[in-house]
């Protein structure tokens, strides 16, 4: 499954604490991204472990740490119901690629494939 995102994905930020409650400043971003993923997934739910690859668009690659962008993507995929959890039991490998500056496509692409074998 390939999902196309036509806007920047904000990297996951550190949780904030207010009145004894922790909250993530990226929750609206995750909700929006999860909605887009759910629309494009068209009901697909992976039961077996998956590989996830993310190719960042031209302008996305300049914003934030890559591992924090992956965290946002993983949380949105789980919230969309495509996979059950973002633990190593369900995501056996992941990769993220930053697009070259001369590329014309500004979209970010997320590829989710079932793992053929798990060691």
106 is a domain residue = yes
Place of tokens 């499954």: 1
**CA dist., res. 78 & res. 30, Å (int):** 10
33 is a domain residue = yes
pLDDT in tens, 1-14: 999 988 778 777 77
Q: How far, in whole angstroms, is CA 5 from its chain's centroid? A: 10
pLDDT in tens, 18-77: 787 766 656 788 899 999 999 999 999 999 999 999 988 765 555 567 888 899 999 999
pLDDT for 42: 92
pLDDT for 24: 66
Which 8-state DSSP code applies to residue 61?
A: G
16 falls in which pLDDT band (50, 70, 90)? confident
17 is a domain residue = no
For residue 105, pLDDT beyond 90: no
CATH code of the domain containing 90? 3.30.1330.70
| Containing structural domain, residue 104 | 2-12+24-114
Strand partners, 109: 4, 55
Residue with the larger pLDDT of the pair 16 and 95: 95
As given in the structure block, the two tokens for residue 114 are: 């079932």
Number of domains in the chain: 1
pLDDT for 102: 56
């Amino acid at each position: 499954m390939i999902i196309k995102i036509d806007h920047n994905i904000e990297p996951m930020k550190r949780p904030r604490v207010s009145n004894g409650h922790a909250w993530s400043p990226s929750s609206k971003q995750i909700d929006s991204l999860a909605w887009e993923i759910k629309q494009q997934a068209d009901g697909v739910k992976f039961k077996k472990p998956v590989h996830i690859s993310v190719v960042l668009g031209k302008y996305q690659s300049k914003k934030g740490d890559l591992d924090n962008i992956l965290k946002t993507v993983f949380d949105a995929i789980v919230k969309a119901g495509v996979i059950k959890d973002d633990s190593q039991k369900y995501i056996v490998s992941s990769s993220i690629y930053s697009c070259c500056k001369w590329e014309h496509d500004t979209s970010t692409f997320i590829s989710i494939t079932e793992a053929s074998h798990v060691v």
